């Protein structure tokens, strides 16, 4: 039976994986700790490690897993910026869940936007205290506003459709614009200049790390609303805080944060949080932070569990998997994604 060390396991993960593994095909060892150099020994005797967005799969971790004869790293997410994939090359295979519900993430982005600009987070607290005054709750219409979408893949496209339903004008920037898509693509600078709202739906890469910085913020409209449901590293948080303090940025809706890995997914309600930047952001009335929860719907969780287990099954029965991230091409049959050794 294939043995899986399941790191950073939460109750909702367990529930969905227990359901997907109803037939008992896999022996899953649920571990609450995240994968790191200090914890990877917990995978001793397992064939697979299953990880999420904040597990640190660096070169040293990969070496140790290989040494323990772990054969596969199964990401139960789409993004893989937390994995040293170049180091994994020719050492270990990596599979991921490329899509589980673009609707979950795109709908959360819109939920954050509406909450922020209609001040729902404020009015919810007020009315619970029987304060029915409206002062300070004035919002603005989305209809007729321009939204700039960075990244027009699966999630970006759904977000664009939602925005069009609100009567918004959509412009977009993508490194690889979609052909014949009826999307108005512009340069990244034009997107900063024209957008009332900017939403990020691209992967984090070396190239776009801190794409939101002092210089790009200077090019944006006064009062711009930023939504980030993609990856925290896209935004230089210090520049964001300055932009908000200078009243240049009107609001920020953040489901991700560049230093989230030691904070998000944990309950620190009884503690003093050490991260001053995060504490400053959370103290601002025009900032909403959710803790990387955009993916968290029933539909997405069951798709994640089913795809992760079918990736593992495919890998062990065929020796490769369609959802492989790693660039260790199989000896027989070539790259299933057609990359043919040209991944780097």
Least separation, in Å, of the C-beta of 141 and ligand NAD? 26
Q: Is 132 in the site for ligand NAD (CB under 6 A)?
A: no
Number of residues engaging ligand NAD in binding (CB under 6 A): 30
Least separation, in Å, of the C-beta of 291 and ligand NAD? 10
According to CB under 6 A, which one of 202, 225, 278, 329 is a site residue for ligand NAD?
Answer: 202
Q: SS3 helix, strand, coil % of the chain, rounded to 5? A: 35, 15, 50
- Give the catalytic positions in this structure: 231, 260, 292
Least separation, in Å, of the C-beta of 167 and ligand NAD? 23
According to CB under 6 A, which one of 34, 93, 96, 292 is a site residue for ligand NAD?
Answer: 292
Q: With contacts defined by CB under 6 A, name the span among 99-107, 126-134, 266-274, 301-309 that binds ligand NAD.
A: 99-107
Per DSSP, the residues of 70-101 read --EEEESSS--TTB-HHHHTTT-EEE--S-S-
According to CB under 6 A, which one of 22, 180, 207, 276 is a site residue for ligand NAD?
Answer: 207
Q: Which helix (H) or strand (E) holds 224?
A: strand 224-228
- For residues 34 and 6, give the distance between their C-alpha atoms in angstroms, rounded to a whole number: 9
According to CB under 6 A, which one of 229, 303, 308, 311 is a site residue for ligand NAD?
Answer: 229
Using CB atoms within 10 Å of the CB of residue 87, give its burial: 0 to 12 exposed, 13 to 18 middle, 19+ buried: middle
Residue closer to ligand NAD (CB basis): 40 or 294:
294
Q: Is 221 in the site for ligand NAD (CB under 6 A)?
A: no
Q: Is 256 in the site for ligand NAD (CB under 6 A)?
A: yes
Residue closer to ligand NAD (CB basis): 6 or 159:
159
- For residues 33 and 56, give the distance between their C-alpha atoms in angstroms, rounded to a whole number: 11
Q: Is 99 in the site for ligand NAD (CB under 6 A)?
A: yes
Residue closer to ligand NAD (CB basis): 234 or 312:
234
How far is CA 185 from its chain centroid?
Answer: 23
Least separation, in Å, of the C-beta of 327 and ligand NAD? 17
Residue closer to ligand NAD (CB basis): 47 or 174:
174
Q: One symbol per residue from 172 to 191: x for binding ligand NAD (CB under 6 A), - otherwise; what is it?
A: -xxxx---------------
Nearest to 35 by CA among 24, 48, 22: 48
Q: Shortest Cβ contact with ligand NAD: which residue?
A: 153
Q: One symbol per residue from 133 to 152: x for binding ligand NAD (CB under 6 A), - otherwise; what is it?
A: -----------------xxx
Least separation, in Å, of the C-beta of 296 and ligand NAD? 7
Long-range contacts of 96-100 (CB under 8 A, 24+ apart): 96/311, 96/323, 96/325, 97/303, 97/304, 97/307, 97/308, 97/311, 97/323, 98/323, 99/154, 99/303, 100/295, 100/299, 100/300, 100/303, 100/304, 100/307
According to CB under 6 A, which one of 114, 153, 265, 291 is a site residue for ligand NAD?
Answer: 153
Least separation, in Å, of the C-beta of 123 and ligand NAD? 25
Q: Are 341 and 329 in contact (CB under 8 A)?
A: yes
According to CB under 6 A, which one of 31, 79, 263, 330 is a site residue for ligand NAD?
Answer: 79
Q: Encoding tokens for residue 272? A: 């003093």
Burial 222-258 (b: 16+ CB within 10 A, else e): eebbbbbbbbbbbbbbebbbebbeeeebbbbbbbbbb
Distances (CA, A) of 69 to 41, 48, 51, 304: 11, 9, 17, 25
Using CB under 6 A, list all residues that contact ligand NAD.
Answer: 78-79, 99, 102, 105, 150-156, 173-176, 201-203, 205, 207-208, 229-231, 255-256, 292, 294-295
């Amino acid at each position: 039976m294939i043995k899986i060390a399941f790191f950073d396991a939460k109750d909702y993960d367990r529930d969905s994986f227990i359901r997907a593994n109803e037939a008992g095909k896999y022996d899953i060892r649920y571990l609450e700790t995240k994968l790191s150099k200090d914890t990877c020994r917990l995978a001793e005797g397992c064939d697979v490690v299953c990880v999420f967005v904040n597990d640190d799969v660096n070169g040293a971790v990969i070496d140790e897993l290989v040494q323990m004869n772990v054969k596969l790293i199964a990401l139960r997410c789409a993004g893989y910026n937390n994995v040293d994939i170049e180091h994994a090359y020719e050492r270990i295979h990596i599979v991921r869940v490329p899509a589980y519900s673009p609707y979950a993430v795109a709908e959360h982005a819109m939920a954050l936007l509406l909450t922020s600009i209609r001040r729902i987070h404020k009015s919810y607290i007020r009315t619970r205290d029987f304060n029915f005054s409206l002062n300070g709750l004035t919002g603005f219409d989305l209809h007729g506003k321009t939204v700039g979408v960075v990244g027009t893949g699966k999630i970006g496209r759904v977000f664009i459709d939602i925005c069009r339903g609100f009567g918004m004008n959509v412009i977009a920037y993508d490194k690889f614009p979609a052909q014949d898509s009826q999307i108005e693509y512009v340069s990244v600078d034009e997107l900063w200049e024209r957008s009332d709202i900017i939403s990020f739906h691209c992967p984090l890469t070396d190239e776009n790390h801190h794409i939101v910085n002092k210089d790009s913020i200077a090019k944006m409209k006064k009062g711009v609303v930023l939504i980030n449901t993609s990856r925290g590293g896209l935004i230089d948080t210090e520049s964001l805080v300055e932009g908000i303090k200078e009243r240049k940025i009107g609001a920020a809706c953040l489901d991700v944060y560049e230093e989230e890995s030691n904070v998000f997914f944990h309950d620190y309600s009884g503690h003093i949080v050490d991260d001053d930047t995060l504490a400053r952001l959370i103290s601002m009335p025009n900032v909403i932070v959710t803790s990387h929860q955009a993916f968290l719907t029933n539909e997405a969780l069951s798709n994640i569990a089913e795809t992760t287990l079918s990736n593992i099954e495919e890998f062990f029965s065929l020796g490769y998997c369609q959802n492989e991230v790693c660039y260790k091409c199989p000896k027989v049959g070539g790259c299933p994604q057609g990359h043919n050794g040209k991944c780097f």
